[in-house]
Amino acid sequence: MMTQVPYHMKEVAVTKIFTFDSAHRLDDYIGKCANLHGHTYKLEVTIKGRTDHRGIVVDFGDIKSIVNEQIIGKYDHRFLNDLMDFNTTAENMVVHFFEIIDSYLQQIDNATPVRLVKCRLWETPSAYAEVTWEDFHAAQ
């Protein structure tokens, strides 16, 4: 018989990290990035919720399925300008990814309610764009 975890039903944030490689060019931009170039993107997905009776907020496998199917599978080793109908800046892309993940996250069968609280998209090892739940919902 399992004993109750002392931190049962506490709110916790969990993060899963993904990488993918894509090429793009920036529109309406003067500089090197106006030319075709590529990045190894790193996407950090942070979800928050209360732990269930097992001490789990959300199954990492569920996060992995959503991101692999809806983002990595569509954008890895692709030319982003052909797939996105907006300028492919890290800022625009992270908002787009937040929207995708948020909509699919609400469809998973989870023991407790969860919310996507942050997406961070690293374009280089020293540069990223980030959107939080508050920022995303304030803009609507």
Buried/exposed 89-108: b ≥16 CB within 10 Å, e otherwise: bbeebbbbbbebbbebbeee
Residues in the chain, how many? 140
In a domain, 84, yes or no: yes
Distance, CA of 43 to CA of 24 (rounded, Å): 16
In a domain, 1, yes or no: no
In a domain, 140, yes or no: no
- Report whether 53 belongs to an annotated binding site: no
The range of the structural domain enclosing residue 55 comes to: 11-134
pTM: 0.91
- Report whether 39 belongs to an annotated binding site: yes
Supply the pLDDT for residue 18. 98
pLDDT digits (tens, 9 = 90+) for 6-52: 566 788 999 999 999 999 999 999 999 999 999 999 999 999 999 88
Catalytic residues: 33, 77, 123
Mean pLDDT score of the chain = 92
Average pLDDT over residues 53-69: 93
Average pLDDT over residues 93-118: 93
How far, CA to CA in Å, does 75 sit from each of 11, 17, 25, 135, 140?
A: 32, 16, 14, 24, 26
In a domain, 5, yes or no: no
Structural domains of the chain, count: 1
In a domain, 109, yes or no: yes
- Report whether 24 belongs to an annotated binding site: yes
In a domain, 3, yes or no: no
In a domain, 6, yes or no: no
CATH number of residue 117's parent domain: 3.30.479.10
